Amino acid sequence: MTGSNMGVDNKFPGKDLTEDDIQNKIPLVAKRSPDHRTTFECGGVEFGGKLVPVMAGPNTVENEELIVKTAIGIKKAGAHFLRGGAFKPLTFPYRSAKFFETREKGLEWLQVAKKETGLPVVTEVMEISKIDLVAKNCDMLQIGTRNMQNYPLLTEVGKTGMPVMLKRGFGNSLRDWLMAAEYIALEHDRLNQPTKIVLCERGVVAPHTHRATSRFLLDLQVIPAAQEITHLPIMSDPSHATFWQPWVKSMMLASIAAGADGLMLEVHPDPKNAAVDPLQCSSLEQFDDIMKACRPVAEAIGRTVDA
């Protein structure tokens, strides 16, 4: 009979998490009870608690003046973390007059901004040989969407014992994502320290994204889905997901209401002249307006965006 080999056989890898997956493949990131939630502190900011930390800053640390100006502005509006890319190649290998990675310089400028404002720093690390350098110059290491399944990188980043933000790969399932987190959690466990990982949804590929320039769809359904299985906090990054600034505010509010444990967005003092992603980044004024809108929504669900 044709159907005899159809249907679901849980012994083999599938599309969704099975009970076996949860128990044997992600034992460290899976919840051990319905109320199990990880909280950890990083740069004086609590993740996984009542606070919904907001991380803001430019795509790229273009120069010192820019990053310091941004840090002062976002701090004033209420952000808890400064974000910015120093190691940040484009999807193609050519630089332009406007865009180039600032690398070591960029890391230095992030530290200048931190000293100026007190804001802790999160920045991306893309290769094993740069982990030490990046780790010395930030409070939280970010794994970018394109490296979510770069397992050697995950393992080496885990070995530092530092807090890690693991962005979701834009083509990856929740199953893939939690299993990637387990790579980091395993190293934290080997160091006999609690797991310090925060997940970050940033948009996924989808048939319809509503604008020619939008490549991704923000998946807010993954927030309750992840919280059902894992004790790790989960953030949302609406600016990369929407790729269109006019939609960022409503998706920030929706992320909070959906239960996001943190928010990330791109902010630039002069969006039109941003080296990268001018369509999606918010000005300092727009960011201030967004933060003002976030406060009552967070309060409405018993959370807060005020440190």
Among 51, 67, 223, 265, binds a copy of itself (CB under 8 A): 223
DSSP designation for 249: H
In the shown chain, the binding pattern of residues 41 to 80 toward a copy of itself, with x for contact by CB under 8 A and - for none, equals ----------------------------------------
Among 65, 228, 285, 306, binds a copy of itself (CB under 8 A): 228
- Return the residues of window 261-280 that contact a copy of itself according to CB under 8 A: 278-279
Task: Verify binding: residue 290, a copy of itself, rule CB under 8 A.
Answer: no
- Return the residues of window 113-152 that contact a copy of itself according to CB under 8 A: 126-129, 146-147, 149-152
Task: Verify binding: residue 9, a copy of itself, rule CB under 8 A.
Answer: yes
- Return the residues of window 170-199 that contact a copy of itself according to CB under 8 A: 170-176, 179-180, 182-183, 186
Between 32 and 136, name the residue whose CB sits nearer to a copy of itself.
Answer: 32
Within the chain, strands assigned E span 40-42, 45-47, 54-57, 81-83, 121-124, 140-143, 164-167, 197-201, 234-236, 263-266
CB of 157 to a copy of itself, least distance (A): 13
The bridge status of strand 140-143 relative to strand 164-167 is parallel
Among 95, 105, 246, 273, binds a copy of itself (CB under 8 A): 246
Q: Report the C-alpha gap between 179 and 29 in whole angstroms.
A: 8
Assign 41 to helix, strand or coil. strand
Is the Cβ–Cβ distance between 166 and 184 less than 8 Å? yes
- Return the residues of window 83-102 that contact a copy of itself according to CB under 8 A: 89, 91-94
DSSP assignment of 150-217: -HHHHHHHHHT---EEEEPPTT--HHHHHHHHHHHHHHHHHTT----EEEEE--B--S--SSTT---B
Among 258, 274, 275, 291, binds a copy of itself (CB under 8 A): 258
